[in-house]
Amino acid sequence: MKFNTTLPNKLKHYYHQELNAYKSRFAERDISAAWNHLERAHVIGQAYPWPHTYVHWKMLQFGVSIKSWKEVLGQIPRLLVGGVKSFVGKIPVGNTGGANIPPLKPLPIDPEIMEMFERAGVKQG
């Protein structure tokens, strides 16, 4: 069994880049683009407990701010178990993390994000 603990340094740049883009788009009230950056940060960080949990926390806050109770309710169980699943290496690779996607459903990874993993030397799947 593989135990993941911390986001590799070579991925941190991409993860933070997406979170910063989220903050910028959200501040500009470009809700759709902001959400897209949260989803991208989720895919990048989902294999690591703290980054994975943090993105779900941001998604919960996002749901509250746009008054999407579906998103809020969908994020609560993800906050409770997402980090644990990351720690033991049992994540649905590529899942974007929102309440609109079943929590255990793997998804194809966007080619641009896959390129980030490749540049960082991190295998997916």
Q: Is residue 3 part of a domain?
A: no
Instruction: Please count the structural domains in the chain.
Output: 1
Q: Is residue 1 part of a domain?
A: no
Q: Is residue 82 part of a domain?
A: yes
Q: Is residue 4 part of a domain?
A: no
pLDDT in tens, 59-113: 999 999 999 999 999 999 999 998 888 888 888 999 999 999 999 999 999 999 9
Q: Is residue 25 part of a domain?
A: yes
Q: Is residue 2 part of a domain?
A: no
Which whole number is the average pLDDT over 21-26?
98
Q: Is residue 125 part of a domain?
A: no
Q: What residue numbers bound the domain in which 97 lies?
A: 9-120
Tokens of 97: 């993390």
Give the separation between CA 113 and CA 11, rounded to whole angstroms: 11
Residue 1's pLDDT is: 54
Per-residue pLDDT at 12 exceeds 90: yes
pLDDT in tens, 103-125: 999 999 999 999 999 999 998 76
